[in-house]
Amino acid sequence: MATTVALALGATSLPAPPPAVAQESGASGNSQVIIRDAEIEQLLRDYVTPIFGAAGIRKGSIQIVLIQNRAFNAFVVDGKRIFINTGALMDAKTPGEVIGVLAHETGHIAGGHLARLRDQMATAQIMAIVGMLLGAGAMVGAASSRGAIGNTGVGASGVFLGSQEMAMRSLLAYARSEEQAADRMAITYLNATGQSPKGLLETFKRFNQEAMFKTSSIDPYLVSHPMPQERIANLEDLAKKSPNYDKPDAPALQARHDLMRAKLFGFSGNTGEVGRRYPLSDRSLAARYARAIAAYRQKKLADAMSQIDDLLREQPNNAWFWELKGQALLEFGRPQEALGPLRKAVALAPSAGLVRILLGQALVATGNAGYTTEAIRELSNATAREPDWPDGWRQLSLAYGQKGDIGMAQYAAAQSYFTAGDYRMAATQATRAMEKLPKGSPGYLKAEDIVNYRPRTPSSGVPRDPT
């Protein structure tokens, strides 16, 4: 797995980038962990690209962000990203289950639900404020009168609480209609792309069973989504009318899905869980992948290398198996040996910027000046593909430092801090870079942009939840 970064959802900044192959098991408090992994991200892009096409969304305009959280969930916040939990990928047994959820979230984006929800929230806030003013006015009137202040006070409180409830009911009624609309749009996209909606239906049926004992005493109007039974009935009616309902997932796609799940369990599951899910008696490629990753995480390098080599004998052109071998060797302090596997991974997956970052890191870690030019070339390519990922810039800064180009090293460091959200340190490094770079050069101008940048205060987004 690639670098993980702790993120408090809704916050304005990320911490400084950790070591490039750091692996975290979770986040504490209200933080989440963003996971970057080239193999998983490519699969999710392959899942969602046809859906985006059917929805009229330009390719590359929406980012899929993976959150390390074992709950089965996905949501959209700003119309530019779909967040999906690792738990959704680990629990989904078929590609169709994930594709269905992504289609549902695409419905929220294509339907403009987020912008309209913000309008609804503003209206709800106004209604609540009006209620507060009416309540305050009633209390002032009572205080200046000779009547029963206590009774009037209760009435004033009732005005305030009543307005809050009206606002909440109005907002949640709108949210329920959004969810039903997103369900219908998901079915439309799946039909348009010749895919089965069965996975989406099965996902919501599972949610229905989990929620059965939680909703019997809840006011349906105070639930942000339709009641499960009602929603399942509507969705099932639509899904079973699809001509593709019984169409199975392509075997090759299912195989990639199985490898993705194995990778996630291997990296985030404990030893016992991996052993239970993928016992030694299971000789499938996915099971062997999970066990090889588990051995690497347990610092059993020789065992891990043996198992990874076994995987490569079966699939010698699998870029992600080569990446895993290179990452393991690099993490265990053998960067020179990691170069061959990582160069092979880059050759097999040339568009994977994260793999190029790993190769660049290995080249830098050897300390061999003869690799400096290659490291700068690979990391420059990687940062062009992954401009918002701090670790590529961090490694590029180290590579320029090895070359003795201090101005460009400080510029790359400024970019690393900037993409991590530390604008103060970014400006400091950029100012130092401008003192060393030729005035008017590309690096100088980009450093100047960082110095002059003033972050805007973001409006608070409201996650949309498919469940």
Note the pLDDT tens digit of each residue in 322-375.
999 999 999 999 999 999 999 999 999 999 999 999 999 999 999 999 999 999
pTM: predicted TM-score of the whole model, two decimal places? 0.78
**Residue 254 bridge partners (DSSP):** none
Average pLDDT over residues 214-225: 44
How far is residue 431 from each of residues 18, 160, 389, 427, 442, measured CA to CA in Å? Answer: 23, 53, 21, 6, 14
The confidence score (pLDDT) of residue 214 equals 47
Residue pair 324/292 in contact (Cβ under 8 Å)? The answer is yes
Q: CA dihedral in degrees (175, 176, 177, 181; nearest 10)?
A: 100
The confidence score (pLDDT) of residue 124 equals 42
CA count, 13 A, side-chain hemisphere, 150: 0
Who wins on pLDDT, 347 or 124?
Answer: 347
Who wins on pLDDT, 179 or 7?
Answer: 179
What tens digit of pLDDT does each residue of 283-337 get? 999 999 999 999 999 999 999 999 999 999 999 999 999 999 999 999 999 999 9
Q: How far is CA 271 from the centre of its chain?
A: 25
